[in-house]
Amino acid sequence: MKHLLKLGDLTREDILSILNLADQLKFERNNGIIKEYLKGKQLGMIFQKASTRTRVSFEVGISELGGHPLFLSSHDLQIGRGEPVQDTARVLSRYLDGIMIRTFAQQEVEDLAKYGTIPVINGLTDYCHPCQVLADLMTIREYKGTFKGLKMAFVGDGNNMANSLIVGAVKTGMQIAVACPAGYEPDARLVKWGKESGLLTVTSDVDEAVAAADVLYTDVWASMGQEKEKAERERVFSGFQINEKNVKGAKEDVMVMHCLPAHRGEEITDGVFEAHAKEIFDEAENRLHAQKAVMVKLMR
């Protein structure tokens, strides 16, 4: 494992080994055990989009590991003025030990890895969000003890989260049902791959997707970069919501998850969100432990 560009590049064993390390790092942190696994290492963090969790979890994470974060906003970098990613990659490789990038095009992340000589971590693109799903898998295993025999239902837009959840579920052996409006399905190649595994179903019927689910997952109807489509999406996605009715359709001990930020009253009701706040904020906390595990795996 040289980079984390997308979950599809990782084997099931890579994923489990990151999750095991994340559990260990969480245990150490909770017990005041400080080990500077990345002492003196420099992590550059390029952000072309806003972030709360990703920025803070990586920044705190690298600091706790004995390294140093550099927050690099695209508003300030020359990349924002058109310096090619190929050149940015080669320059940053001379200074840093790793790069985390949040941007629009997946190709930009792939190019950074191709032209640079240091590990690259995808902190979200329009295509996928692997770091979030590693934290999600960690949280599911904490609550359920296993992935075996579980069913996850994702309700909403077939976006970057849906894409990565499909890969994360299939690689760990969970069933996943995606409920989305026609025309808003996840990436076609991933859908084909998921269906071939026998673990993925895609439907526009929310009741069918959530039936007997162990985990309900949702995300915003309009992602970063889709602000202009907001009104149209509110119309198309009404009904693709996690609410009291479809929580009832799931298993009694269902977990409700959300990558956050959440729009209460849109993809999730306030009542369901607050009733499941424990899971949702454990999930957010686990970003820290999962991100630390990824950095230790790649940068040590």
Query: Where in the sequence numbering do the catalytic residues fall?
Result: 102, 129, 132, 219, 259, 287
Q: Which two tokens stand for residue 274?
A: 């607050």
178 binds, options ligand NVA, ligand CP, none, Cβ within 5 to 8 A by partner type: none
What DSSP designation does 242 have?
B
236 binds, options ligand NVA, ligand CP, none, Cβ within 5 to 8 A by partner type: none
Q: Which residues pair with 257 in a beta bridge?
A: 217
Among 250, 259, 293, 298, binds ligand CP (CB under 6 A): 259
How far apart are the C-alpha atoms of 173 and 175, rounded to whole Å? 7
Say which amino acid occupies 49.
K
Measure Cα distances from 30 to 25, 26, 57, 145, 289 in Å.
8, 6, 16, 19, 11
Chain residues 40-69 in contact with ligand CP, contact rule CB under 6 A: 51-54
52 binds, options ligand NVA, ligand CP, none, Cβ within 5 to 8 A by partner type: ligand CP
The secondary structure of 69-100 as a DSSP string is EEEEETTTSGGGGT--HHHHHHHHHHH-SEEE
Q: Which residues pair with 70 in a beta bridge?
A: 44
Closest to ligand CP by CB, 199 or 289? 289
Among 108, 214, 219, 267, binds ligand NVA (CB under 6 A): 219
Residue 295 as a binder of ligand NVA (CB under 6 A): the answer is no
Q: Show the binding pattern over residues 4-43: x = contacts ligand CP (CB under 6 A), - = does not.
A: ----------------------------------------
Chain residues 97-126 in contact with ligand NVA, contact rule CB under 6 A: 124
Burial of 211 (0-12, 13-18, 19+ CB in 10 A): middle
> Which residues of this protein are in contact with ligand NVA, per CB under 6 A?
124, 159-161, 219-220, 223-224, 259
> Which residues of this protein are in contact with ligand CP, per CB under 6 A?
51-54, 124, 132, 259-260
